[in-house]
C-alpha cells in the first residue's frame, strides 16, 4: 500500500524551462495519488528555479521541494543523485516517478542503486494493482512486439521511468500546493563533471500533434501519397516501425511502443496492419480512421472508421476532397 510519503516525482528543467515529459509524469502521479488517497511531492533542482516549482504546485503537486544552488544549474548525474536521494530519504515515498529523458534515465539508474530500489524502465502505462496498491508498469520488450506488465517486488520506493508523450500534461489550476526549500549540502568538489558546452537540436514532436497521418508497410515504401494527405489536411506525419527499420523514414517519426504515443484528436492510419506494439501508441487518440486493403486487418479493431481498399486509390480521393492534388 502507499506509504505516508505518497508519490514522488523528479521534475526536470533545462535552462529555466520545465520538460514536458516531467509535467506529463506529474499529472499521472496526481491521478495515482488521488486513487490511493495519498499525496504528490515534486522535486525541482537548479539555480533560480522557484518560479518553476510554483508552476508545478499549480499543476497537481501537493508539495514541491526546491533545491536551488549554482552547483545544480546544469544537470550532472552524481550531484543530482546526491540531492534527490536526500529528498527521497527525507520524504520516504512509496513511489518515485521520473521522465525517461536522457537525464532522467541516467538519474533513475543511479538512484535505484543508491536507494536499493526496484526500477521499471521506459514504461508506457502505469496502473495500481487491485488489493495490494502496488505500482504496475507496462514495459515494451522484444523490439516492441510485446508489452509486459511489471512490478517492483522488493525495495522501496517503487521506481519507474516514463516514456515521454504517453500521458497528458496537466493544466494549471487556481489551487496551488506548497513550495518548500530543501537545503543543499553540495560542495564544489562534489560536482566532478562539468558541462563545458551543450548543443540543442529541436525537432517536431509527433506526440503533441492534434492531427496526424501515419503510413505503414502497406504503402510499399512510397510515402508520397500519405505525406501529401498530411500536407492537404494540415496534419503531422508519422510511420510504423518497419518503415523506419527499412530506412524509408527517420526513427523520430515512429508511432508505437518503441516510438511516440499520440494524443491527437484525429489519426488517419494508412496501410498499417495493427500489431500491438503499434496500436499502443493510439491509446489516447480521440478518432482513428484506418485505411487497409485487408478486411480482417487487426488495425480495424482499434479504429473508429474503417476503410477497406487500396491506399493508392483511396488516399488520392481523400486528398482531392481536401482540395489538394495527388503527386
Rounded Cα–Cα distance for residues 178 and 56 (Å): 10
In this chain, the answer to whether the domains covering 7-190 and 206-321 adopt an identical fold is yes
What CATH architecture is 206-321? 3-Layer(aba) Sandwich (3.40)
214: which residues sit within 8 A by CB, 6+ positions away? Answer: 226, 237, 238, 239, 240, 255, 267, 268, 269, 270, 272
Query: Is residue 145 over pLDDT 80?
Result: no
Model pLDDT for residues 4-20, shown as the tens digit of each residue: 579 999 999 999 999 99
**Which is more confidently placed, 81 or 323?**
81
Q: Is the dihedral of CA 23, 164, 209, 318 positive or negative?
A: negative
SS3 label, residue 120:
strand
Percentage of the residues of the chain whose pLDDT score is greater than 70 = 95
Band (pLDDT 50/70/90 cuts) for residue 3 is very low
Tell me: pLDDT of 1 over 50. Answer: no
Per-residue pLDDT, 309: 94
Cβ distance 216 to 242 under 8 Å? yes
Grid cell listed for 171: 493544466
With a cut of 70, say whether residue 125 has pLDDT above it.
yes
Domain boundaries, given as residue ranges, for the chain: 7-190, 206-321
pLDDT of residue 301: 94
Rounded CA separation 234/171 (Å): 25
The residue among 175 and 24 whose pLDDT is bigger is 24
* Average pLDDT, integer, range 224-230: 95
Distance of CA 31 to the CA centre of its chain: 15
Strand partners, 114: none
Which secondary-structure segment (H or E) carries 319? helix 311-321
Residue 293, pLDDT score = 95
Distance (Å) of CA 109 to CA 98, 114, 117, 157, 304 = 11, 9, 10, 13, 40
So what's the pLDDT on residue 13?
A: 96
In whole angstroms, what is the distance from residue 40 CA to residue 9 CA? Answer: 7
Name the pTM for this structure.
Answer: 0.79
Strands (E), the chain: 7-11, 13-14, 17-18, 40-46, 63-68, 95-99, 119-123, 125-128, 135-141, 146-150, 158-162, 178-181, 211-215, 236-239, 266-270, 287-292, 305-308
pLDDT tens, position by position, 36-53 = 999 999 999 999 999 999
- Quote the pLDDT of residue 277: 80
Q: Which CATH class is domain 7-190?
A: alpha beta
DSSP code, position 23 = H
Number of Cβ within a 10 Å radius of residue 314? 19
Following DSSP, what letter does each residue of 143-164 receive, concatenated?
GGTEEEEE---SSSSEEEEE-T
Task: Look at 64-73, 199-208, 312-321 and tell me which has the smallest mean pLDDT.
Answer: 199-208
What whole-number distance in Å separates Cα of residue 310 and Cα of residue 220? Answer: 11
What are 252-266's pLDDT values in tens digits?
Answer: 899 987 788 888 999
β-partners of residue 43 are 10, 65
Over range 113-130, report the average pLDDT. Answer: 94
Question: pLDDT at residue 192 above 90?
Answer: no
The contacts of residue 106 (CB under 8 Å, 6+ apart) are 77
Residue 74 has pLDDT above 80, yes or no: yes
Mapped onto helix, strand or coil, the DSSP state of residue 128 is strand
pLDDT, tens only, 78-99: 999 999 999 999 999 999 999 9
The mean pLDDT of the chain is: 91
Amino acid at each position: 500500500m502507499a506509504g505516508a510519503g505518497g508519490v514522488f516525482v523528479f521534475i526536470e528543467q533545462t535552462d529555466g524551462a520545465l520538460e514536458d515529459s516531467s509535467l506529463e509524469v506529474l499529472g499521472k502521479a496526481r491521478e495515482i495519488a488521488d486513487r490511493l488517497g495519498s499525496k504528490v511531492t515534486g522535486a525541482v533542482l537548479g539555480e533560480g528555479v522557484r518560479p518553476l516549482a510554483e508552476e508545478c504546485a499549480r499543476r497537481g503537486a501537493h508539495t514541491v521541494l526546491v533545491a536551488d544552488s549554482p552547483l545544480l544549474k546544469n544537470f550532472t548525474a552524481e550531484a543530482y543523485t546526491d540531492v534527490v536521494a536526500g529528498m527521497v530519504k527525507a520524504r520516504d515515498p512509496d513511489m518515485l516517478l521520473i521522465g525517461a529523458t536522457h537525464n532522467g534515465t541516467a538519474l533513475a539508474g543511479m538512484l535505484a542503486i543508491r536507494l536499493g530500489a526496484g526500477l521499471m524502465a521506459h514504461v508506457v502505462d502505469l496502473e495500481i494493482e487491485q488489493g495490494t496498491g502496488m505500482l504496475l508498469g507496462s514495459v515494451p520488450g522484444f523490439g516492441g512486439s510485446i508489452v509486459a506488465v511489471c512490478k517492483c517486488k522488493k525495495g522501496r520506493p517503487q521506481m519507474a521511468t516514463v516514456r515521454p508523450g504517453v500521458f497528458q500534461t496537466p493544466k494549471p489550476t487556481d489551487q496551488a500546493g506548497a513550495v518548500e526549500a530543501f537545503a543543499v549540502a553540495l560542495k564544489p568538489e562534489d560536482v566532478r563533471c562539468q558541462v563545458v558546452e551543450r548543443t540543442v537540436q529541436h525537432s517536431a514532436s509527433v506526440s503533441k500533434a492534434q492531427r496526424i497521418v501515419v503510413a505503414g508497410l502497406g504503402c510499399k515504401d512510397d510515402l508520397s501519397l500519405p505525406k501529401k494527405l498530411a500536407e492537404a489536411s494540415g496534419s503531422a506525419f508519422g510511420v510504423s516501425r518497419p518503415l523506419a527499420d527499412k530506412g524509408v523514414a527517420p526513427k523520430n517519426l515512429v508511432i508505437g511502443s518503441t516510438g511516440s504515443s499520440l494524443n491527437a484528436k484525429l489519426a488517419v492510419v494508412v496501410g498499417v496492419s495493427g500489431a500491438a506494439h503499434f496500436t499502443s501508441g493510439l491509446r489516447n487518440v480521440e478518432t482513428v480512421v484506418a485505411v487497409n486493403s485487408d478486411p480482417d486487418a487487426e488495425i480495424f479493431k482499434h479504429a473508429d472508421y474503417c476503410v477497406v481498399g487500396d491506399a493508392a486509390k483511396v488516399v488520392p480521393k481523400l486528398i482531392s476532397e481536401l482540395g489538394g492534388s495527388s503527386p
